[in-house]
């Protein structure tokens, strides 16, 4: 049998880069990339020339200079003799703190408000509508200022907590709400507290394993376990037993009135609380609409089928509606978390020292390194946004419905 020779491959010609659709897209991309590189090269060169004309250079050595200013709310040790780099780190941690607290509270508020907006109770549904429309249509800055003004003007001063005064501490005299902030007990970690923390985290791992077992058992046999109460017992009982066996290694430092202010405990300044509540309530209104639309995207037949099988309304919501609604809820929820994190830069309006106030404010004013400071500030928000997006995308992939 004779073998038919393959036809020779056509030779490549330069005109194919323009007229051949196979190569034309590559040509356009290569040209666009070259133009982009040239643009950034011109931009960087122009910036360097302008800095040279002003007698400046591009240097991050200012981060090692003494900052010379105080920060009222901080999570790590800091003083006015610390460096600008330390001040920037304090601001970054303050930003991450209010962003984490805001995302957590906004999620809770949004889920509750979104579900209640669909309530058959006319009063409850209308109240949630007023909340959602009120917060969504008023600028966030105004809500920050309003909440801050309420907390500073309508709360008593420390002198009112004295004997015979008009104010008193709450929760068994352990929490004080004043115009200087909220004072709460602060944990004091003693010897053996590390073991207690290890037991607590080990209990959380056991809860995760138990929930996996309960889910597997339900899928195989249809029998459901009281996961909430069993999980609560797994977390609380070992921790309490370890707490007393180790001789109570963790104690509480309670705030007490001394002189003209409270001493001891942990002070949560009004600026932090106002910013946290405003961000949470404002973003929670948007999350409520996302949750409501996600629930409405699930066919009513799913609910009717669940009721026909004898499932109660709360279990229908947890086991049937929400798992299907999550694929609609999670993607726009990521955008709301990103918006909340970036909106925290409004903290400067109430004097909360976040990274915008430290690195992007006082440090730039003192050192004159506006270009370096703004580049670092933009890089921080970029990295924070990418991390939030990555984590939420991983969660989104874990909860999305998988076909057979």
Cα radius of gyration (the chain): 29
Q: What is the pLDDT of residue 2?
A: 60
> Do 285 and 277 form a contact (C-beta atoms < 8 A)?
no
172: left (phi over 0), alpha (psi -120 to 50) or beta: left
The structure tokens listed for 211 are 């929930």
Interatomic CA distance for residues 265 and 159, integer angstroms: 18
325: alpha, beta or left? (left if phi > 0; alpha if psi -120 to 50): alpha
**What CATH class is the domain 62-138+269-369+379-404?**
mainly alpha
| Structure tokens belonging to residue 17 | 């880069």
User: Taking the model in full, what pTM does it have?
Assistant: 0.83
Determine contact, residues 249/148, Cβ cutoff 8 Å.
no
Write down the pLDDT at residue 167. Answer: 77
Q: Find the angle CA(93)-CA(156)-CA(90) to the nearest 5 degrees.
A: 10
Cα separation, 324 vs 297, whole angstroms: 9
CA dihedral of 220, 223, 228, 230, whole degrees rounded to 10: -90
Return the DSSP state at 178: E
What's the pLDDT score for residue 178? 86
Q: Give the side-chain half-sphere CA count within 13 A for 185.
A: 14
What's the sign of the alpha-carbon dihedral 242, 247, 250, 254?
A: positive
Rounded to whole angstroms, the Cα distance separating 70 from 109 reads 34
Domain boundaries, the chain: 62-138+269-369+379-404
* Residue that the structure tokens 């928000």 belong to: 381
Q: What is the mean pLDDT of each run of 10 residues along the chain (404 residues)?
A: 62 68 78 91 84 78 88 86 92 94 94 89 92 92 92 85 77 84 87 89 91 84 81 89 88 83 85 93 94 88 84 80 85 92 91 90 88 90 92 82 58
Strand partners, 155: none
């Amino acid at each position: 049998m004779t073998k038919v020779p393959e036809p020779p491959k056509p030779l490549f010609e330069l005109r194919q880069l323009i007229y051949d659709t196979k190569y034309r897209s590559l040509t356009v991309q290569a040209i666009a990339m070259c133009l982009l590189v040239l643009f950034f090269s011109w931009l960087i060169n122009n910036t360097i020339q302008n800095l040279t004309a002003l007698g400046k250079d591009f240097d991050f050595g200012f981060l090692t200079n003494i900052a010379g200013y105080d920060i009222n709310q901080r999570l790590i040790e800091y003083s006015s003799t610390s460096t600008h780099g330390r001040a920037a780190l304090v601001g970054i941690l303050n930003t991450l703190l209010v962003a984490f607290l805001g995302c957590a509270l906004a999620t809770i508020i949004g889920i509750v408000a979104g579900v209640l907006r669909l309530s058959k109770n006319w009063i409850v549904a209308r109240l949630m509508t007023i909340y959602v429309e009120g917060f969504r249509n008023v600028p966030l800055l105004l809500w920050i200022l309003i909440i801050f003004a309420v907390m500073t003007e309508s709360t008593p001063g420390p002198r009112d907590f004295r004997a015979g005064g008009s104010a008193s501490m709450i929760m068994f005299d352990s929490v004080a709400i004043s115009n200087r902030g909220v004072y709460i007990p602060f944990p004091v970690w003693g010897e053996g507290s590390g073991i207690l923390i290890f037991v607590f985290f080990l209990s959380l791992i056991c809860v995760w394993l138990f929930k996996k077992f309960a889910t597997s058992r339900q899928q195989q046999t249809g029998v459901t376990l009281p996961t909430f109460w069993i999980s609560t017992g797994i977390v609380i009982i070992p921790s309490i037993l370890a707490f007393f066996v180790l001789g109570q290694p963790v104690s509480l430092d309670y705030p007490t009135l001394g002189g003209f202010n409270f001493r001891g405990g942990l002070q949560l300044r009004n600026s932090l609380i106002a910013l946290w509540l405003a961000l949470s309530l404002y973003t929670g209104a948007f999350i409520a609409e996302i949750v409501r639309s996600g629930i409405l995207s699930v066919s009513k037949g799913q609910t009717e089928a669940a009721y026909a099988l004898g499932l109660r309304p709360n279990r229908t919501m947890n086991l049937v509606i929400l798992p299907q609604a999550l694929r609609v809820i999670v993607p726009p929820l990521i955008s709301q978390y990103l918006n909340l994190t970036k909106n925290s830069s409004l903290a400067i309006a109430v004097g909360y020292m976040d990274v915008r106030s430290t690195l992007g404010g006082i440090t730039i004013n003192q050192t004159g390194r506006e270009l370096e400071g703004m580049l670092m500030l933009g890089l921080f928000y970029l990295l924070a946004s990418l991390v939030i997006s990555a984590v939420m995308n991983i969660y989104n992939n874990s909860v999305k419905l998988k076909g057979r």
